[in-house]
Amino acid sequence: MRRALTDIAVRWLMRCVTYFIVLVIAYIVIDIVWNGAPALSWTFVTAMPKESGAAGGIFPAIVGTFCLILGAIVVALPLGTASAVYLSEYAKNGRFTRMIRLAIITLAGVPSIVFGLFGLGLFVLFFHFGASILAGSLTLACMVLPTIIVASEESLRAVPIYLREGSLALGAGKWQTIRKNVLPYAIPGMLTGSVLAIGRAAGETAPILLTVAAFYLPRLPRSVFDQCMALPYHLYVLATQYPDADKIRLMQYGTALVLIILVLGVNLVAVILRIHFRKKYKW
Amino acid sequence: MGGHWREAGVKWLLAVSSSVCIIVVLVIFAFLFKEAAPFVRDPGVLDLLGARWTPVSFIKQQFGIAPLVSGSVVVTLLATLLAVPFGLCGAVYIAEIARPLEREILKPLVEILAAIPSVVLGFFGLVVVAPIVKYVFNLPTGLTGLTGALLLALMAIPTIVSISEDAIRSVPRSYREASLALGASDIQTVWRVTVPSAKSGIVAAVMLGMGRVIGETMAVLMVTGNAAVVTLSPFDSMRTMTATIAAEMGEVTYGSRHYQALFWVGILLLLATFILNVAAQRVLRNHQRA
Amino acid sequence: MHRTVPVAAAVVISILMFGCTPAAQQGKAARAAGKSVTVKGSDTMVHLVTAWSESYMKAHPDAEISVTGGGSGTGIAALLNGTTDICAASRDMSPEEKEKAAREGSTLRETNVARDGIAVVVNPSNPINELTLEQLKKIFTGAYANWKEVGGSDGEIVALSRESSSGTYVFFQEHVLKKEDYTPKARLMPATSAIIQSAASDALAIGYAGLGYAADVGRVKVLKVKADAAAPAIAPSEDTVRNGTYSISRPLHFYTGAGVGPAADDFIKFCLSGAGQAIVREAGYIPVQ
């Protein structure tokens, strides 16, 4: 009897603890949605900032974030998927492979501000790109590369081996086999991984702090050598750089909401893709 | 014959793409050391061991990183201490006790927490958490190490939950079934058999969570008060290594002593997270082998 | 596979074309012709500079001015690194910085664009109304740790300061702390508004901020400053800063290097014009006279 009671007590304790976490998450999201929703309007999302950000819209920040994500993906996606194909299909357990894997683990663990430091030193100053979308995108690309590689490799390995063996038995070359019999089935997983990487890159502030972000730039970027505004940096600036925080509380929450919608929206897309393709490809 | 060349060419191209990872890591390390190196000659690495961080001073520039290290350590340890009970409990609940429907809701919710950008959490901390901390503990200001640790714990929980959950799930059914067959209850089985068997996976999860926390920048920059003091009390304002780099990097002139000192802080951060991550991976691999 | 390659190729090509489009060409030409101007630096001045930019760009639609804060130190570093056209600084460049610029061969030009008073702010509930410079120095260097020591109620003094990248930080250190170091216990806030926010909500806080930021009374109390125990207590305002009776005031500068384009010059000229100086007054600073 005692045992049963302790068991029930423990079970309920665990339930409370777990749902406490849920409560906190819900509180954060609801707080931002509740306080930020009044700020959302067509003007807010499409207009340029006025009064150095205290009024108007955040359009350049949204566009800037998109530019940075695009730049990062353009660099990291080809490199990442190629590396994943190599690791999954060609690599033997030699020293080279172990070095690659160690490099991936290392890169995945590098703090975002160290990427920012590195990006500032190498791309902005050493290569003389200046604070630009180019520097920011390259820094973000370095950051998301491990995510893309790991997700892509996983989806490649999930393709059953008999698909490869059949093709090879029929006399096809290795690359031919991969191109026609493996990649098509792995692409969905790779896509999901890249989408998740995009979500991460969109929300990062530290890497873009000094490599690209501008406080006030009410013009859309015109080339990769321009600076741009970005949503995470804009939120940081709104939260810490305005004399009368209460007046712009609405703008702060609105920006936070847009950023959350963007990041969660991207993650939702990834989840939907994952579910859709899991249904489609049942081995 | 052409096909053979194409095959070889593709393999070579893919290998080169893979080596980009290695190259990037090496370049990061090399570049950090290159920029930090001149500091060794003047004023010397021992300078970093001091307890005052006053890089801007009319009297004497001091680059003692002790306050920064203590700030990072206190915030990280406190955050881990706060996150582990919640994370572990959550992982066990989701893996073992929750009904399938519950699981379908809980897992995405935890992923949502993982997806919230650090600057949004920092903003939330500034506006909501700091005043609460100030009121509850009757402090002169809510910008303390504790506030930072609370936010960081929120960021570490998803990592701990997901990796611990994987570890718990991978404990063989036979262990559970044997325990139940011997008459133990569900809960007893979970906490006395399953979780201990998943111990190394859970340890790895905690280490990876710590690695994530120690590298966090924006949230701590916004809520810890950034005072460069060596202190063990979480109710004080403190300054982490990450916040220091973020706050001061913009003002340093290329090649100045302050610039080099900041790169040393970056190297230290990189080494700390590197060691944590590699150790965690090793623990994970041992667990998977066992 | 068949779909990904063309899509990827299209994306890559469009990125590269980004550089070739008329807009990008215009951007490049604008930079080459000096029509786009980058201003980096002082956090104290960032709203002033942004107000100037907005006004200027309204009058000159093809001009492009990008403003970034970060602190005077950031702006000076950017100027020396060559990553900005104009540096906004709320402190003078130090002799080392001027020397470094000379070594790099760039001729610096300092233009005084406004004046600013540094207000000392406390929470409205704080009973103290005035402090001497000596007392301020003792508070911010940590010699005084309790409000009792300056005649207030018992409580730990929470000193709020800017980050070391701030010109205000350096100026305050030089003129009020008389070049001594700040106490390590001082909270280094990321920006002036953070100081205002903290002072408004923490009863034991004391901080310093550019007058333009403290201008909205009610949220924080601005202390009167006495040059020494015998001097009268002066509150910061446009008049007291202009006639020098307020002890803590400073010029705000634009620094430019050699090879800066005509657009930057034009912008600076605008800032110094009647319209520009009217904006200075609106922003809560003091026009140059």
Spatial contact of C240 and C234, defined as CB atoms under 8 Å apart? yes
Give per-residue pLDDT as tens, C255-283: 988 767 788 888 888 888 888 888 888 88
> Could you give the number of structural domains in chain C?
2
Give pLDDT, residue A243.
60
Residues C111 and C159 in one domain: no
CATH code (residue B121): 1.10.3720.10
Both B62 and B192 in one domain: the answer is yes
Task: Give CA–CA dist B275/B210, Å, rounded.
Answer: 11
Shared domain check, B13 and B124: no
Q: CA of C1 to nearest chain A CA: how many angstroms apart?
A: 6
Alpha-carbon distance of C132 to C27, in angstroms, equals: 52
> Which domain does A137 fall in, by range?
40-280
Domain co-membership, B123 together with B16:
no
Interface membership of B88 toward A (CB under 8 Å)? no
Mean residue pLDDT of chain C comes to: 80
Which chains does chain B touch, 3 or more C-beta pairs < 8 A? A, C
| Calpha distance A124→A127 (Å, rounded) | 6
- Residues near A59 by Cβ (< 8 Å), separated by ≥ 6? A45, A46, A47, A48, A220
**Does one domain contain both C158 and C84?**
no
> Residues C157, B140: contact at Cβ < 8 Å?
no
Say if residue A32 is in the same domain as residue A166: no
C243 plus C144 within the same structural domain: yes
Q: What local confidence, expressed as pLDDT, does residue C23 receive?
A: 42
Q: What is the mean pLDDT of residues C217-242?
A: 82
Which of residues 24 through 83 in chain A touch B, CB cutoff 8 A?
24-26, 28-29, 31-32, 78-79, 82-83
Same domain, A136 and A264: yes
- Does residue C131 lie in a domain region? yes
The domain of C62 spans 34-115+251-282
Which pLDDT band, with edges at 50, 70 and 90, does C35 fall under? low
Quick check: is B111 in a domain? Answer: yes
**Residues pairing with C250 in the sheet:** C116
The answer, for C153 touching chain A at a CB cutoff of 8 Å, is no
> What pLDDT score was predicted for residue A244?
63
**Does some domain include residue C288?**
no
Same domain, B103 and B75: yes
Query: Tens digit of pLDDT for each residue in B229-284?
Result: 888 888 988 999 999 998 888 777 777 888 889 999 999 999 999 998 888 888 88
pLDDT confidence tier of residue C26, bands split at 50, 70 and 90: very low
* Nearest-CA distance C239 → chain B (Å): 31
Domain match, B14 and B97 both: no
Residues 44-83 of B with CB under 8 A from C: 52-59, 67
Q: For residues B93 and B87, what is the distance between their CA atoms, to the nearest angstrom?
A: 10
Q: Which of C173, C190, C198 sits opposite B58 (nearest CB)?
A: C173
pLDDT score of C28 more than 50: no
Integer Cα distance of C71 and B245 in angstroms: 14
Q: What's residue C216's pLDDT? A: 63
Which residues from A are below 8 Å from B185, CB to CB? 3-4, 7
B278/A contact by beta carbon, under 8 A: yes
pLDDT of residue C232: 85
Q: What is the model's pTM?
A: 0.84
Residues A115 and A224 in one domain: yes
- Give the number of domains in chain A: 2
User: For chain A, how far is it from start to end, CA to CA, in angstroms?
Assistant: 47
Q: Which residue of B has its CA nearest to A171?
A: B3
Residues C69 and C132 in one domain: no
Q: Is C83's CB within 8 Å of A77's CB?
A: no
pLDDT, tens only, C127-151: 988 899 999 999 999 999 899 988 8
What interhelical angle do B2-36 and A112-119 show, nearest 10? 90
The reply to whether C206 and C178 lie within a common domain is yes
For residues A62 and A231, the answer to whether their CB atoms sit within 8 Å is: yes
Does residue C181 form part of some domain?
A: yes
- Considering the domain architecture, whether residues B104 and B203 belong to the same structural domain is answered as yes
B58 and B31 in one domain? Answer: no
In this model, does residue C161 exceed pLDDT 50? yes
Q: What chain B residue is nearest to A82 in terms of C-alpha separation?
A: B14
Are residues C151 and C85 located together in one domain of the fold?
Answer: no
- Could you say which residues of chain B have pLDDT below 70? 1-2, 288-290
Given pLDDT bands bounded at 50, 70 and 90, which one contains residue C16? Answer: very low
Question: In order along chain A (283 residues), what is the average pLDDT of each group of 10 residues?
Answer: 81 90 91 88 81 78 90 91 88 86 89 90 82 90 92 86 85 82 83 84 88 78 82 86 72 89 88 78 60
Q: Which two tokens stand for residue C83?
A: 């990553």
Residues A89 and A101 in one domain: yes
Percent of chain B with pLDDT over 70: 98
Residue A79, domain CATH: 1.10.3720.10
Domain count for chain B: 2
- Are A135 and A269 within one domain? yes
Map residue C132 onto helix, strand or coil.
strand
pLDDT value at C10 more than 70: no
Q: pLDDT-derived band of residue C21, with 50, 70 and 90 as boundaries?
A: very low
Please tell me whether residues B26 and B143 are part of one structural domain. no
What are the chain C neighbours of A124 within 8 Å (beta carbons)?
83
Q: Which of B65, B126, B141, B259 to mutate to test binding with chain C, by most C CBs within 10 Å of its CB? A: B141
Whether C9 is covered by a domain: the verdict is no
**In a shared domain, residues C101 and C136:** no
Nearest to B128 among A31, A267, A271 (CB): A31
Contact between A175 and B7 using a beta-carbon 8 Å cutoff:
yes
- Dihedral, CA atoms, A176, A178, A184, A186, nearest 10 degrees? -170
8 Å CB contact of A107 and B21: yes
Task: Report CB contact under 8 Å: B276, A109.
Answer: yes
The alpha-carbon gap from B83 to the nearest alpha carbon of chain C, in Å, equals: 26
Buried b (16+ CB within 10 A) or exposed e, A51-72: ebbbebbbbbbbbbbbbbbbbb
Same domain, A232 and A269: yes
CB contact (8 A) between residue C69 and residue A245: no
3-state SS, chain B, equals CHHHHHHHHHHHHHHHHHHHHHHHHHHHHHHHHHHHCHHHHCCCHHHHHCCCEECCCCCCCEECCHHHHHHHHHHHHHHHHHHHHHHHHHHHHHHHHCCHHHHHHHHHHHHHHHHCCHHHHHHHHHHHHHHHHHHHCCCCCCCCHHHHHHHHHHHHHHHHHHHHHHHHHCCCHHHHHHHHHCCCCHHHHHHHHHHHHCHHHHHHHHHHHHHHHHCCCHHHHHHCECCCCCCCCCCCCECCHHHHHHHHHHHCCCCCHHHHHHHHHHHHHHHHHHHHHHHHHHHHHHHHHC
Compare CB distances from A223 to C18, C67, C194 and report the shortest one's residue.
C18
- Write out the residue range of the structural domain in which residue B174 sits: 53-289
Statement to judge: residues C255 and C175 lie in one domain: no
